[in-house]
Chains A and B, each alone.
Chain A
């Protein structure tokens, strides 16, 4: 069974940092483009970042460029999102997801990031 398990969320002060992780089981992450998608409380979905299977190409939504870094660890079959200089507007549930034909076919359960003083 394919599973993605996101972790690492929590409460952090504005300007702080957090690293999210997404562990995969039942499939090899290194065969897929992988993304992070977030959802602010009571709001819609927003794509945040993605990474090519070999890790050579990464894309980010403009609002996080220069602050967030997506990476993958094929030895651990996992995905990460390093978030620096966090802002209140980064408060959201963060989901990891695998890509398939321009869609997201497998999703983790989400990990909540709250940026507040």
Chain B
């Protein structure tokens, strides 16, 4: 099983700041099949990024994904009030999610 480790556990930032979230895999991911999701309380997750760096339909361009192999990053260039949530990474090889990073208002 491939384990995904997300860091930090919690990120406290002001609106307008840049957020950088990390996701590290215990093994190299085939075809970089790594995706990112945003989840707000009481809601289903929403796909942000697939294949490590492709933005999903309707996702604002302030969200970007990068990385390959074992190290991946989700960047939110300027946080909007609606962006504060929990973010999960996911790898499709052995179908595991990271434990999540909470982005909260400072």
Of B15-23, B42-50, B66-74, B75-83, which stretch is located at the interface?
B42-50
Q: Which residues of B contact A45 (CB under 8 A)?
A: 37, 39, 45, 88, 90, 97, 100
Given the known interface contacts A44-B99, A61-B95, the answer about A105 and B50 at a Cβ–Cβ threshold of 8 Å is yes
Number of A-B contacts (CB under 8 A): 60
Q: In the complex, how many residues of chain A place their beta carbon closer than 8 angstroms to a beta carbon of chain B?
A: 19
Interface size class of B (residues with CB under 8 A): 20 to 34
- 9-residue interface stretch from A24-32, A73-81, A95-103: A95-103
With a cutoff of 8 Å between Cβ atoms, the chain A residues found around residue B44 in the complex are: 95, 107-110
Q: Which of B45, B51, B57, B96 contacts A107 (CB 8 A)?
A: B45
Chain B residues with CB under 8 Å of chain A are 31, 33, 35, 37, 39, 43-47, 50-51, 54, 56-57, 88, 90, 92, 95-100
Residues of A within 8 A of B (CB): 37, 44-47, 50, 59, 61, 95, 100-105, 107-110
